[in-house]
Amino acid sequence: MSTSAAEHAPGHASADGIAARARGLTKAYGSGETTVLALDAVDVDIARGRFTAVMGPSGSGKSTLMHCLAGLDNVSAGQVWLGDTEITGLKERELTRLRRDRIGFMFQSFNLIPTLNAAENITLPMDIAGKKPDEKWLDQVIDTLGLRDRLKHRPAQLSGGQQQRVACARALASRPELIFADEPTGNLDSRAGLEVLGFLRDAVDDLGQTVVMVTHDPGAAAHSDLVLFLGDGRIVDEMERPTAEAVLERMKRFDVIRGQADDAEGRPGDGAPPGASPDASPDISPDASSDVSLDKD
């Protein structure tokens, strides 16, 4: 299934509201009998100025999709564009520069440098690139994220939620075209997680940023504008204006399909209720399920 594929003129990325685009994106790991097809000819458009969530069962290809769109991993076939730039085929040095200049990253483990204070962590990528931050923008980011009185603190002196806010500010500091967030609330309690999701939402609504977030949590996905559902390396569904309940219901259908596949192949766990077998689980943790009541701010 493709997203807005009809707009696509073959071989060209449009200059309009598309922040990233993939056509026929295929990624295989290994070779011969042990080949794993992580992405199977995925067509996707990531709209500029929107918050897109990527969900799907464990192993469905979420991280691989993010890594390929961000130029962190090479593709086996197909094409990927960031804005108008086709990144498939770029040399590693060009990719490094492109990631540094045009993409912001947030990870589950905040990836802050322990010896640097919050302010230094926020500007580190720009310092490495030898670029001066736009002070007005940086002030806006710091105030939006409520970090003004935490700038001199080192990561160990900050709560998990505050550390992730610093990571969020770092991702925003260079005003990137696209922010990729991989399970950004995975290490946070639900209150801190909600706070970070609210800031990502604000980054889109108030600062005009574009965010793509991989998550297992329907409550987190409910903060997005659009959820893309991956199954077995393909985009199998999408949901506009998601609610946590609707996302959870959609995820449960992966259980049913996997259960049926298990039945057909006579795998252990036949007849078990959806989600009862570890293999069949869509990887929604009990915590995630309990977060279903979380709603948009």
**Taking CB under 6 A as the criterion, which residues in 165-224 touch ligand ATP?**
none
Q: Please give the Cα distance from 157 to 150 (Å, whole number).
A: 9
Closest contact distance (angstroms) between CB of 112 and ligand ATP is 22
**Taking CB under 6 A as the criterion, which residues in 49-68 touch ligand ATP?**
56, 58-64
The sign one gets for the Cα dihedral 290, 242, 226, 147 is negative
User: Looking at beta carbons only, is 38 or 181 nearer to ligand ATP?
Assistant: 38
3-state secondary structure of 243: coil
Closest contact distance (angstroms) between CB of 10 and ligand ATP is 27
- Nearest Cα residue to 41 out of 59, 22, 26: 26
Closest contact distance (angstroms) between CB of 40 and ligand ATP is 11
Find the binder of ligand ATP among 238, 283, 287, 296 (CB under 6 A).
283
Closest contact distance (angstroms) between CB of 250 and ligand ATP is 15
3-state secondary structure of 292: helix
Burial class (CB in 10 A: 0-12, 13-18, 19+), 193: buried
Contacts of 78 (CB under 8 A, 6+ apart): 22, 23, 24, 25, 26, 41, 42, 88
- Span from 12-20, 28-36, 81-89, 253-261 in contact with ligand ATP (CB under 6 A): 28-36
- Span from 30-38, 152-160, 184-192, 239-247 in contact with ligand ATP (CB under 6 A): 30-38
Find the binder of ligand ATP among 5, 7, 30, 270 (CB under 6 A).
30
Asked if 36 is part of the footprint of ligand ATP (rule: CB under 6 A), the reply reads yes
Find the binder of ligand ATP among 7, 12, 29, 293 (CB under 6 A).
29
The sign one gets for the Cα dihedral 80, 84, 87, 88 is positive
- C-beta neighbour count of 74 within 10 angstroms: 15
Asked if 38 is part of the footprint of ligand ATP (rule: CB under 6 A), the reply reads yes
Q: How many residues bind ligand ATP (CB under 6 A)?
A: 13
User: Looking at beta carbons only, is 65 or 244 nearer to ligand ATP?
Assistant: 65
Q: What is the DSSP string of 74-131?
A: --SEEEEEETTEE-TT--HHHHHHHHHHHEEEEESS----TTS-HHHHHHHHHHHHT-
Closest contact distance (angstroms) between CB of 89 and ligand ATP is 21
Residues forming the site for ligand ATP (CB under 6 A): 29-30, 36, 38, 56, 58-64, 283
